[in-house]
Amino acid sequence: MQSNTRWNNNLAFLLAATGSAVGLGNIWGFPYKAGENGGGLFVLLYIFFVILLGLPVFMAEVAIGKIGKKDPVSAMINTADKTNSTKNWRVVGYLGILSNLFIGGYYAVIAGLVINYGFISASGFIGKDPTVIYDTEISSFVEMTFWFLLFLALTGFVLARGIEKGIESSMRILMPTLFFLIILMVGYGAYRGDMSAALSYLFSWKAEQFSAATMQAAIGQAFFSLSIGMGTLMAFGYYMPKEQKVPGASSIVVTADTSVALLAGLAIFPLVFAFPFLDPNAGTELVFKTMSTAFAELGAIGQFVGPLFYLLLAVAALSSMISILEPSVLWVQERMPTTRTRATFIVIAICIILCLISVSGFNVLKDFKVGSLENPFEMMKYIADDFLLLLGGTGISAFVGWRLSKIIDMEKLGFKSKLLFSAWIFILRWVSPLFLMVIWVLGNLERIFFIKFF
Ligand code: PHE
């Protein structure tokens, strides 16, 4: 089981971490949240928080993995040992494993819908109404289950093949494909859509939109999109070659991730604004209902552009899904201990059960509410993104800031400037835990108990 627990080149970490970061969060989540929050200000806040909080906590999580080695739980125990801290810090590792499963438990469902839409758009929309198609598709429990099972089978196949043959090799194909497709889509948006409307929508400063909710959305989105807080980056930090520099590598991944989010906006909104009756504020349905309506309007060419767009989403989703389940597979494998294939089976099986609950939120249990959470799908998403991830992020930040920083060899980690290193530790100690906790408390009060302060 110890064989092949390393990548032997720097590119592998960059590809895998970028593959993890760039996902549905960028292409499905970022544009619809920008849309819901009115565009410009949200985008600027997002970039601000990526740099101020996202990058430092990203580096912290990679550092724990690199120093602590092994799966997220053992990595926390090892680093806690090294710093004479209590072993209770392992809770952060367990939170990570739990987040894996809950994120996986809704992520695969959206990815399944994406694959389904690839086929729908390829067959064309002549004589059909795209909005009706959406409602029909999500109303079928069996059909949605079929598509997410297909997606999970692909994910399981890659995971079972291991770190080098599975993750690294697949990323070498998926990442170039993803960048090629997104450039193609932006190009098409510029050619056929209204690019200037999209640019002004995404980048113009509208001060009147400033609110706690927009800030919350921007921070949550930044952390989710960078894959922070659930052990993925710890696992990838563990596989990282010894001499690879954490700050440099992290900066590259964070830049790539942010660029893809912005490019996704520039691929989607020009087409949305090309048709005056389409609404940029369609929420989670933006890439499904709204975009497929745009593809239908494009006529025959939509039958080519549509499938390419959904292929882009599927590629991004697959590379992220692999990374979402990797820490759990690693943990089961080392904990039992068992073979990688068997560990993959166990994790995928748990994920399937959670996905079935999510799917029911679209149809059979769509009226089952808890607090302001509309249905089981929303619940799963809430537990993962808003509850567990932010807690994990806070734990990671505080642990590295207050404990691990004492034994970190600044140069070995890859810092050249003492000033930058001190700024990093300062943010991890004071700034990010505080921001994250305030948002966590306010967000939970509002979502569960309807208590609103702003
Ligand atoms: N960052 C991924 C996305 O944007 C999702 C993800 C979250 C992946 C957490 C791994 C860990 O879609």
pLDDT computed for residue 453 by the predictor: 61
Q: What is the C-alpha to C-alpha distance for residues 441 and 443, in angstroms, rounded to an integer?
A: 6
Lowest-pLDDT range, 25-39, 60-74, 349-363?
Answer: 25-39
pLDDT at 2 exceeding the cut of 50: no
When pLDDT is averaged across residues 113-136 and rounded to a whole number, the result is 90
pLDDT computed for residue 80 by the predictor: 97
Looking at the domain assignment, is residue 310 inside a domain? yes
DSSP one-letter string for 138-194: HH-HHHHHHHHHHHHHHHHHHHHT-IIIIIIHHHHHHHHHHHHHHHHHHHHHHHHS-
Looking at the domain assignment, is residue 392 inside a domain? yes
When pLDDT is averaged across residues 168-182 and rounded to a whole number, the result is 96
Number of domains in the chain: 1
Ligand 1 mean position, distance from CA 225 (Å): 5
Looking at the domain assignment, is residue 5 inside a domain? no
Query: Ligand 1 atom closest to Cα of 229?
Result: 9
Backbone angles phi, psi at 304, to 5 degrees: -100, -45
DSSP one-letter string for 278-335: --S--GGGIIIIIHHHHHHHTGGGHHHHHHHHHHHHHHHHHHHHHHHHHHHHHHHHHH
User: How far lies 88's CA from each of 363, 380, 397, 408, 433, in Å?
Assistant: 41, 26, 15, 20, 18
pLDDT computed for residue 257 by the predictor: 97
Q: What is the C-alpha to C-alpha distance for residues 367 and 150, in angstroms, rounded to an integer?
A: 27
Confidence band (pLDDT; 50, 70, 90) for 454?
Answer: low
Q: Whose CA is nearest to atom 6 of ligand 1?
A: 227
Q: What is the C-alpha to C-alpha distance for residues 376 and 171, in angstroms, rounded to an integer?
A: 32
> CA Rg, the chain, in Å?
21
Determine which helix (DSSP H) or strand (DSSP E) holds 207, and give its type and residue range: none
Burial of 309 per CB tally in 10 Å (0-12, 13-18, 19+):
buried
Residue given tokens 């964070």 in the structure block: 254
pLDDT computed for residue 236 by the predictor: 97
pLDDT computed for residue 126 by the predictor: 76
The rounded mean pLDDT for the chain is: 93
Q: What is the C-alpha to C-alpha distance for residues 154 and 107, in angstroms, rounded to an integer?
A: 14
pLDDT digits (tens, 9 = 90+) for 156-172: 999 999 999 999 999 99
pLDDT at 20 exceeding the cut of 50: yes
- Residue 23 near residue 260, CB atoms below 8 Å: no
Polymer length in residues for the chain: 454
Burial of 407 per CB tally in 10 Å (0-12, 13-18, 19+):
exposed
Q: List residues near ligand 1 (CB under 6 A).
A: 20-21, 23-26, 103, 224-225, 227, 230, 232, 320, 323-324
Confidence band (pLDDT; 50, 70, 90) for 4?
Answer: low
Looking at the domain assignment, is residue 454 inside a domain? no
Can you give the CATH number for the domain in which 280 is found? 1.20.1740.10
Domain containing 353: what range?
10-449
pLDDT digits (tens, 9 = 90+) for 241-289: 999 999 999 999 999 999 999 999 999 999 999 999 998 888 888 999 9
Query: Ligand 1 atom closest to Cα of 23?
Result: 12
pLDDT computed for residue 3 by the predictor: 44
Burial of 123 per CB tally in 10 Å (0-12, 13-18, 19+):
exposed
Q: And the tokens for 395?
A: 């734990």
Looking at the domain assignment, is residue 4 inside a domain? no
Q: Which of 324, 351, 380, 390 to mutate to test the pocket of ligand 1 (most atoms within 8 A of CB)?
A: 324
Looking at the domain assignment, is residue 272 inside a domain? yes
Query: Ligand 1 atom closest to Cα of 257?
Result: 4
Q: Which of 27, 62, 320, 380 to mutate to test the pocket of ligand 1 (most atoms within 8 A of CB)?
A: 320
pLDDT digits (tens, 9 = 90+) for 290-348: 999 999 999 889 999 999 999 999 999 999 999 999 999 999 999 999 999 999 999 99
pLDDT digits (tens, 9 = 90+) for 189-239: 999 999 999 998 888 877 777 777 788 788 889 999 999 999 999 999 999
Looking at the domain assignment, is residue 3 inside a domain? no
pLDDT at 38 exceeding the cut of 60: yes
Q: Which residues contact 242 (CB under 8 A, 6 or more apart)?
A: none
Ligand 1 mean position, distance from CA 101 (Å): 12
Ligand 1 mean position, distance from CA 127 (Å): 37
Query: Ligand 1 atom closest to Cα of 26?
Result: 4
Q: And the tokens for 287?
A: 């890439």
pLDDT computed for residue 207 by the predictor: 72
Q: What is the C-alpha to C-alpha distance for residues 184 and 267, in angstroms, rounded to an integer?
A: 9
Share of the chain above pLDDT 70, in %: 98
Looking at the domain assignment, is residue 178 inside a domain? yes
DSSP one-letter string for 45-97: HHHHHIIIIIHHHHHHHHHHHHHH-SSHHHHHHHHHHHTT--GGGHHHHHHHH
Ligand 1 mean position, distance from CA 23 (Å): 6
Ligand 1 mean position, distance from CA 124 (Å): 31
Share of the chain above pLDDT 90, in %: 79
Confidence band (pLDDT; 50, 70, 90) for 1?
Answer: very low
Q: Whose CA is nearest to atom 7 of ligand 1?
A: 227
Confidence band (pLDDT; 50, 70, 90) for 415?
Answer: very high
Q: And the tokens for 261?
A: 């989010």
Tell me, what amino acid is at 151? F
Q: Whose CA is nearest to atom 8 of ligand 1?
A: 227
Bridge partners of 373, per DSSP, are 370
Q: What is the C-alpha to C-alpha distance for residues 347 and 155, in angstroms, rounded to an integer?
A: 11
> Residues 124-158, buried b or exposed e (16+ Cβ, 10 A)?
ebeeeebeebbeebbeeeebbbebbbebbebbbeb
